[in-house]
Amino acid sequence: MRAGALSDAARLDWLRLIRSENVGPVTFLQLLQRYGSAAAALSALPDLARKGGRASLRIATRADAERELEATTKAGARLVARGEPDYPTGFTTIYDAPPLISMRGRAPLGADPARVVAIVGARNASGVGVRFARTLAADLGSKGLIVASGLARGIDAAAHTGALATGTIAVLAGGIDQPYPPENKPLCAEIAEKGLVIAEQAVGTEPHGRHFPRRNRLISGASCGVVVVEAALHSGSLITARMALEQSREVFAVPGSPLDPRCRGTNNLLREGATLVEEADDVVRALTGLRTLREPAGDGYSITNAATPQPELDAARARITELLSPSPVAVDELIRQSRLTPAIVLTILLELELAGRLQRHPGNQVSLL
């Protein structure tokens, strides 16, 4: 999607649309594809939600959007839309790229994802792990690479600190003015001055558990590869590694002692085929020749506003609802089993999501709530 620079009015409409109830990044893009503009999509929301089984839907007002824009500016940041020149190029290649992000700092750092490497790991990292992450980040920076991470305590903070002099990108879980944990607020301010700070959530949003996996997809999305330094089994860092694989990024892991629970996740990544990292050159060698990332991994279908007889749509809704369950299913499988056109299936899924009855999952899968 190439939006170009948005007008002030269009930026407000984009902001209203993404902040409206049950509108996520995938839904936002489908609405733009179907209606051509955010303004037209906003007008269509109530009817789409009603068809999905919901009587009313909270739609962000113009005043809401204006207040958020003003608060973002007061926080020293700006809102950048997908398709605009300063939007991080790596984000455009992921399936659920955020339509709008808040940014502070040097936007060019996110321009070439082939030069960005993420470093993530345990919050309760060992002294050895912290020292290794700081040194690795500094060495990668000296070789012309930008280091991205999530500003968490432990490995993340060490990676940012090591790369401050050469360039680092911090992706926040909450709003652009809500760095977490609080003790990393000075580090965040320094990154905003020397590097780049990015947030998907609205300014003022305090980070909660559900925000961190969404942040993790952007850490991996901004980069061409993710290095995991100390991670327990089932840790958030392994979620980032899994998302990197789903986004066709490289995954690296630093080996650790089998006696340290903080290293079981990284050792398991190595067992599953991750590239072993003992020094920066291990990363550089693996990335040699990797200069571009694949274009967006969307669903491959377009959703249009073509007229479909109401009785046919009603029957199609009943069929799709019958096929859905709490277990995730691929959209391609729904199309195959229903024998309906992709446009009709996507329209019905859009209606159900706006009605709060559908949940989207990685890999273009959906489930019924």
CA distances from 216 to 165, 224, 226, 238, 358 (A): 24, 14, 11, 10, 22
| pLDDT tens string 302-335 | 555 555 666 778 888 899 999 999 999 999 999 9
| pLDDT tens string 74-109 | 999 999 999 999 999 999 999 899 999 999 999 999
What pLDDT, on a 0 to 100 scale, did the predictor assign at position 264? 96
What pLDDT, on a 0 to 100 scale, did the predictor assign at position 297? 44
β-bridge partners, 226:
118, 251
Lowest-confidence segment of 186-190, 242-246, 251-255 by average pLDDT? 242-246
What pLDDT, on a 0 to 100 scale, did the predictor assign at position 314? 82
Q: Assign domain 106-287 to a CATH class.
A: alpha beta
| pLDDT band of 289, cuts 50, 70, 90 | low
Residue 124 CB neighbour total at 10 angstroms: 13
What pLDDT, on a 0 to 100 scale, did the predictor assign at position 304? 58
pLDDT above 50: residue 296: no
How are beta strands 100-105 and 146-149 bridged, if at all? unpaired
Q: What is the CATH number of domain 310-368?
A: 1.10.10.10
Query: Percentage of the chain with pLDDT > 90?
Result: 85
| pLDDT tens string 338-356 | 999 998 999 899 999 999 9
The mean pLDDT value for 271-288 works out to: 95
What pLDDT, on a 0 to 100 scale, did the predictor assign at position 334? 94
In the chain, what are the domain boundaries? Answer: 8-103, 106-287, 310-368
β-bridge partners, 117:
147, 225
| pLDDT band of 134, cuts 50, 70, 90 | very high
| pLDDT tens string 104-133 | 999 999 999 999 999 999 999 999 999 999
| pLDDT tens string 9-30 | 999 999 999 999 999 999 999 9
The mean pLDDT value for 26-55 works out to: 93
What pLDDT, on a 0 to 100 scale, did the predictor assign at position 298? 47
